[in-house]
Amino acid sequence: MHLARFPRIALGHFPTPLEKMPRLSAALGGPTLYIKRDDCTGLATGGNKTRKLEFLVADAIKQGADMLITQGATQSNHVRQTAAAAILVGMKCRALLERRVTTMPASYESTGNVLLDDILDCPYEFRPGGVDMNKEGMALTEKLRAAGGKPYFIPGGGSNPIGALGYASCVQELTYQADQQNLRIHRIVHATGSAGTQAGLVAGLHALNAPIEVIGVSVRAKRETQIDNVHRLAAQTSELLGARGDLPRNLIQVIDDHVGAGYGQASEDGIAAIRMLARTESILLDPVYSAKGMAGLIAMVRAGKFKKDENIVFLHTGGASALYAYESLLAAPRQKDGGTAAAAR
């Protein structure tokens, strides 16, 4: 693995911190929990898409593009980080937003990440839930190309082998930090959606021959489907990295019991995880992804899935900018005077 072979531009603050979570570990009474702060990559509030975009945007530049086209759900962190990346390289950005969530107040389509898309000057168009968004995005890209533009299409979540290189790179950063801290990591737990993060992690660990287990907590797909998606992309990424040997399917571990009512719908255990992490470590999660990842970690610790002497790293993939779009589900009950009561929490 020699990542400097691939074009890359700097978009974020790296390395992100690797820190112990002493209060959460004590509250749960299981293994020692650490956190890799990829919510702190800095790119217009940051998140896991920043690492992928360092490779994707460099590829766009190499291909002579002057515009980035991408797609995501309404509250997409990926779209917001792509809009931010475009500014830094002097490109335009256009996005398609899928209405996957239909149960939220109207402000869902104007606050949180959507507001940041506005501020970052990224025009977006909505599409109904359930359409093939990558197909829509490619159609828009072709239309712009036919009109004489130089658009570069980035798939949803930046999840293709080039984007996944970002998480192979994260593996190098993380194992270096762990070596410096004399910390043996047994497992990494994180939220998995479009599969690029987990695929990059697994391909990177495989290339480094590092025996660290990765557990993806699905935010959308059923376990078998998500394992297929991650494995396919991990195998392609491994090939791009030039790693020796096939990437075994049994390296892909996924749990799917924390999706709740569906993608983008806040779950009860996710909301409990948001409150628990905020009130033990002052770290903010988001309802769509990282809260479900953390709910998975908390449930596995409580179920005794890990030994007490293990060190588990939660990869915080970001997303807290979406919190404001979920105000109706997260706000404390109001008193008559507008304040909130301690007893009501």
Ligand X SMILES: *Cc1c(COP(=O)(O)O)cnc(C)c1O
Catalytic residue annotation: 76
Asked if residue 12 binds ligand X (CB under 6 A), the reply is: no
- Minimum Å gap between C-beta 251 and ligand X is 16
Pull the structure tokens for residue 321: 């900018």
Assess 321 for contact with ligand X (CB under 6 A): no
- Copy the structure tokens of residue 309: 């002497």
Nearest approach in angstroms of CB 254 to ligand X is: 11
Instruction: Please name which of 317, 286, 297, 18 lies closest in space to residue 158, comparing C-alpha atoms.
Output: 317
d(CA 170, CA 41): 12
For the chain, the farthest-separated pair of C-alpha atoms sits apart, in whole angstroms, at 66
Q: Which residue's CB is nearer to ligand X, number 6 or number 66?
A: 6
**How many residues belong to the chain?**
345
CB of 19 to ligand X, least distance (A): 18
Residues 41-60 binding ligand X (CB under 6 A) are 47-48
Segment contacting ligand X (CB under 6 A): 98-106, 147-155, 317-325, 335-343?
317-325
How many residues bind ligand X, per CB under 6 A?
Answer: 20
Q: How far is the CB of 226 from ligand X (least distance, A)?
A: 9
Contact status: 166 vs ligand X (CB under 6 A): no
Integer Cα distance of 86 and 89 in angstroms: 5
Burial of 304 (0-12, 13-18, 19+ CB in 10 A): exposed
> Of the ranges 28-36, 241-249, 269-277, 312-320, which one interacts with ligand X (CB under 6 A)?
312-320
* Distance of closest approach, residue 195 Cβ to ligand X, in angstroms: 5
CB 333 within 8 Å of CB 344? yes
Residues numbered 272-311 forming contacts with ligand X, rule: CB under 6 A: 286, 289-290
Give the shortest CB-39-to-ligand X separation in angstroms.
8
For ligand X, give the closer residue by CB, 184 or 241. 241
Count Cβ atoms within 10 A of the Cβ of residue 334 and give its class: 0-12 exposed, 13-18 middle, 19 or more buried: exposed
How many C-alpha atoms does 53 have within 13 Å on its Cβ side? 29
DSSP E strand stretches across the chain: 18-20, 32-37, 67-73, 92-99, 124-128, 151-154, 187-192, 213-218, 253-255, 311-316
Q: Of 16, 41, 75, 77, which lies in the binding site for ligand X, with binding defined by CB under 6 A?
A: 77
Whole-angstrom CA distances from 121 to 53, 141, 161, 322 are 18, 18, 28, 18
256 near ligand X, judged by CB under 6 A: no
Region 178-207 residues binding ligand X, contact defined as CB under 6 A: 191-198
Which residues contact ligand X (rule: CB under 6 A)? 47-48, 77-78, 157, 159, 191-198, 286, 289-290, 317-319
